[in-house]
């Protein structure tokens, strides 16, 4: 049996039923990683010894009749902007080379408490700034479906790890589409929860009002399983929502009758690949045949999402990254004659081009004389975008759109054109600005490359959104697809 083709739920059940041991399953995944990661470059770190040790503890618990967690024996990858105490956390940046945090992210603690086996940390665009994982200071991750193409970003390493069968589950972070876009390009499920649904404690910040941690999986049900573990209130995170925790697994397979699905006209126009549009509309037609009410809707402020995002996100990045100054931790220059050169040279050497670009842009829009004209104005439009969504959700259960305007493009194709790269996230940015949940699931193939369809729902309707995603997953019959390297 090829354990790397099993879902997370199947893996846990096989271990509970004593058909297979956790050590067998984890070892099979580690062997595949070590054999193929040199091609895919999904992982920055591989933790073989600690993973096998954790698996042995799961097997001992089962032998002794002790209770085990929801993720017992399931191999999981963690994006390398999530802190693990005593383990290097770099954000794929020279600036944090050698940094070992003194604390562990809340989501990682929750995974470990439920028996999840962390096999390694995955590559990303530096400080999560990018759409292709080409901005990593470590290496460029490859798309398992075509090693000459990008996996998306910034969580490209986590998406590629799931798509290649290295792990059934992974964690990423999503600031403007950084889970959903790579999920679409790599052919897996990727979810951005409602802002505040999952604790951000231990996530190295990019845009604090936009960042959210979420799951990658090969099935919607597996994503729901991981959401059951990582969601919930955390008093260590001031932005955590103190609400009743949804029951994701119990909701995901419920029947969805009399669905009202909104199709925004602004998401189907110039820039969208015609074959992707056909693929998405084919899914919508199947939903209509299945009894869903399809409603044409308008989100007129969508056209402002990109400029608003590229004011708000860089402004927050400029503030968050000011702490990396060569003094307390992280990279420190060897070429410093005074305190000013210590700061400037450390930051010049430590940050890559895209991070510098966004810091400069953010500093500019926050500067005296420009704050009101740019940043404050962007916040006002952001509020209007949120109101736009609230209006359409008053008469829709979910909105369906493409996730990405194209399939995965070739490595190097857009590196010299930042605006073209930014447009890769054109369909995902709005959900972060509004704070609503979104999920991308596979819905077909174009030119032998995966295509994703995006669902967005009202605030804190995350479980209901996944339930509709599971319905679509069954309708299009695309499950457990693994790229054959």
State the catalytic residues.
79, 154, 178
Residue with tokens 């470590």: 138
Any idea which residue has 């940043």 for tokens? 375
Cα 321 to Cα 72, 127, 370: the distances in Å are: 36, 9, 20
The per-residue b/e assignment along 55-81, b for 16 or more CB within 10 angstroms, e otherwise, is bebbbebbeeeeebbbbbbbbbbbbbb
Nearest 5 degrees, angle CA 170-CA 198-CA 76? 15
For the chain, the distance separating the N- and C-terminal CA atoms, rounded to the nearest angstrom, is: 18
Q: Is 355 in a helix, a strand, or coil?
A: helix
Closest CA to 333 of 95, 158, 167: 95
| HEC string for 293-315 | EEEEECCHHHHHHHHHHHHHHHH
Binning the chain into helix, strand and coil, the percentages to the nearest 5 are: 45, 15, 40
Residue burial 170-191, b: 16+ Cβ < 10 Å; e: rest: bbbbbbbbbbbbbbbbbbbbbb
The C-alpha atoms of residue 288 and residue 260 are separated, in whole angstroms, by: 10
Q: Which residues pair with 261 in a beta bridge?
A: 294, 398
Which of 398, 386, 381 has the alpha carbon at shortest distance from 435?
386
Beta bridge partners of 189: 217
What is each CA distance from 395 to 193, 297, 399, in whole angstroms? 21, 10, 11
**Contact yes or no for 94/332 (Cβ under 8 A):** no
β-sheet with 398-402: strand ranges across: 43-46, 117-122, 75-79, 169-174, 212-217, 189-192, 438-446, 449-456, 398-402, 260-264, 293-297
Query: What secondary structure does DSSP assign to 249-273, as a single string?
Result: HHHHTS---S-EEEEEGGGSSTTS-
DSSP letter string, 375-411? IIHHHHHHHHHHHHHHHHHTS-SEEEEES-SSSPPBT
């Amino acid at each position: 049996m090829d354990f790397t083709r099993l879902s997370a739920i199947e893996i846990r059940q096989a271990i509970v039923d004593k058909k297979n041991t956790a050590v067998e399953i984890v070892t099979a995944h580690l062997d595949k990683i070590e054999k193929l990661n040199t091609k895919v470059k999904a992982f920055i770190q591989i933790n073989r010894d600690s993973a096998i040790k954790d698996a042995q503890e799961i097997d001992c618990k089962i032998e002794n009749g002790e209770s085990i967690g929801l993720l017992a024996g399931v191999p999981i990858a963690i994006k390398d902007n999530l802190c693990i105490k005593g383990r290097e956390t770099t954000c794929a940046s020279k600036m944090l080379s050698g940094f070992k945090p003194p604390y562990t992210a809340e989501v990682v603690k929750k995974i470990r408490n439920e028996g999840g086996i962390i096999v390694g940390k995955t590559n990303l665009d530096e400080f999560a700034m990018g759409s292709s994982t080409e901005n990593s200071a470590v290496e460029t991750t490859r798309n398992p479906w075509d090693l000459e193409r990008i996996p998306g970003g910034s969580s490209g390493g986590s998406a590629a790890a799931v798509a290649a069968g290295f792990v059934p589950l992974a964690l990423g972070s999503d600031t403007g589409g950084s889970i959903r876009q790579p999920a679409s390009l790599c052919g897996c499920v990727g979810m951005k929860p409602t802002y505040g649904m999952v604790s951000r404690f231990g996530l190295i910040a990019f845009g604090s009002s936009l960042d959210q941690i979420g799951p990658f999986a090969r099935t919607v049900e597996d994503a729901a399983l991981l959401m059951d573990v990582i969601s919930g209130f955390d008093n260590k995170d001031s932005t955590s929502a103190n609400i009743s925790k949804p029951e994701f697994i119990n909701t995901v397979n419920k029947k969805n009758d009399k669905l009202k699905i909104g199709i925004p006209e602004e998401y189907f126009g110039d820039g969208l690949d015609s074959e992707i549009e056909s693929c998405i509309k084919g899914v919508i037609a199947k939903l209509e045949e299945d009894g869903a009410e399809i409603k044409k809707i308008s989100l007129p402020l969508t056209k402002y999402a990109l400029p608003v995002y590229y004011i708000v996100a860089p402004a927050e990045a400029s503030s968050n990254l000011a702490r990396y100054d060569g003094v307390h931790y992280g990279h420190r220059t060897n070429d410093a004659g005074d305190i000013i050169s210590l700061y400037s040279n450390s930051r010049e050497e430590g940050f890559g081009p895209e991070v510098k670009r966004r810091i400069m842009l953010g500093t500019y829009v926050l500067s005296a004389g420009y704050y009101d004209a740019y940043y404050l104005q962007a916040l006002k439009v952001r509020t209007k975008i949120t109101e736009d969504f609230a209006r359409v959700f008053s008469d829709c259960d979910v909105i369906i759109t493409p996730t990405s305007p194209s399939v995965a493009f070739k490595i190097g194709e857009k590196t010299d054109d930042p605006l073209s790269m930014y447009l890769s996230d054109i369909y995902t940015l709005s959900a972060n600005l509004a704070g609503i949940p979104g999920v991308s699931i596979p819905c077909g193939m174009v030119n032998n490359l995966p295509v994703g369809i995006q669902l967005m729902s009202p605030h804190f309707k995350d479980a209901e959104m996944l339930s509709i995603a599971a319905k679509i997953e069954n309708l299009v019959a695309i499950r457990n697809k693994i790229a054959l390297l």
